[in-house]
Amino acid sequence: MRRSSFAAFAAALVLLWPGEVEAHLVTTGLGPVYDGISHVLLSFDDLLPVVALALLAGLNGQAAGRKVLFTLPIAWLAGGAAGYASGVALFPAGFASLSLLLLGILTAADRRLPPFVVKGLAMILGLVHGSGNGAGIAAAGHDALGLIGITLAIFVLVALVTAGVVSLKKPWARIAVRVAGSWIAAVGLLLLGWTLRGRI
C-alpha cells in the first residue's frame, strides 16, 4: 500500500511538471482529420513511442495487444480533449526520452509483463502525448477534429504493428523486434542526453 502510494505520488509529480509543448500539426489542406492522421505519421515525437508500445504489446501476446489497441487511442483522445479544453499540456520535460528508453528496454529484454502493466503504460503514454497534441491544436487555433484523425491513425498503427508482432513465429523474427527495441532505447538515451545538455 505504501509502495503504491509512493508510485502514485511519483507519477503525479512527473505528470504535473510542465514542459515545453512541441506539438505542431501538419497542414495537409485536406481538413483537420487528415491533418491529424498525417501528424502521427510524420511526427517522430509521437510516432516512435506508439510504435515502441505496439512492439512491446505484440511481444506480450494477444491479450496485451488487445488492451493496448483500445486503451492507447482512447487515452490519447481523452488527454487530447483535456489539453484542448484547458490549453495546458501535461508533458513533463524528459518524458519523451524516458518513455522511449523504458519501452525500448522492455522490448529488447522481451520479458513477459502482466497485461495490466502494459495497459497502464498505454494509458500514461496516451494521456500525456494526447494532452500535448490537444494543447498544441488549441494554441495553433486549429479544429479539434484533428484529434479524431490522430486517434484513428494511432488505432490503425497499433493494430497493424501489434498484429504483425503477435503473428511472428520464427525465433529470428522476434529477435528482429528486440533489436528494434534496443534501437528505440538507444534513441531514448541519446535524446535524454540532448535534453540534459540543453538544461545544464
Please state the closest distance from residue 38 (CB atom) to other proteins, in A: 14
193 binds other proteins (CB under 8 A): yes
Which window, 8-16, 76-84, 154-162, 171-179, contacts other proteins (CB under 8 A)?
Answer: 171-179
Does 175 interact with other proteins (rule: CB under 8 A)? yes
Instruction: Please state, in angstroms and rounded to a whole number, the distance separating the CA atoms of residues 17 and 24.
Output: 21
From 14, 19, 45, 66, residue interacting with other proteins (rule: CB under 8 A): 45
* Inter-CA distances, 121 with 33, 75, 124, 133, 197, Å: 26, 11, 5, 18, 27
**Which cell numbers hold the place of 161?**
504493428
Binding of other proteins at residue 158 (CB under 8 A)? no
If binding is defined by CB under 8 A, does position 117 make contact with other proteins?
no
Residue 64 engages other proteins in binding (rule: CB under 8 A): no
Distance (Å, rounded) from C-alpha 112 to C-alpha 60?
Answer: 6
Separation of CA 67 from chain center:
14
**Residue closer to other proteins (CB basis): 144 or 189:** 189
DSSP string, 131-158: HHHHHHHHHHT--TTHHHHHHHHHHHHH
Number of residues that bind other proteins (CB under 8 A): 26
Please tell me whether residue 2 binds other proteins under the rule CB under 8 A.
Answer: no
Question: Does 185 interact with other proteins (rule: CB under 8 A)?
Answer: yes
Decide if residue 169 touches other proteins (CB under 8 A).
Answer: no
Q: Does 48 bind other proteins (CB under 8 A)?
A: yes
- Nearest distance, CB of residue 51 and other proteins, angstroms: 11
44 contacts other proteins (rule: CB under 8 A): yes
**Among residues 59, 96, 153, 161, the one that binds other proteins under rule CB under 8 A:** 96
Residue reference for cell 502510494: 5
Residues in the chain: 200
Q: Which is nearer to other proteins, 104 or 132 (CB)?
A: 104
User: By CB under 8 A, is residue 172 in contact with other proteins?
Assistant: yes
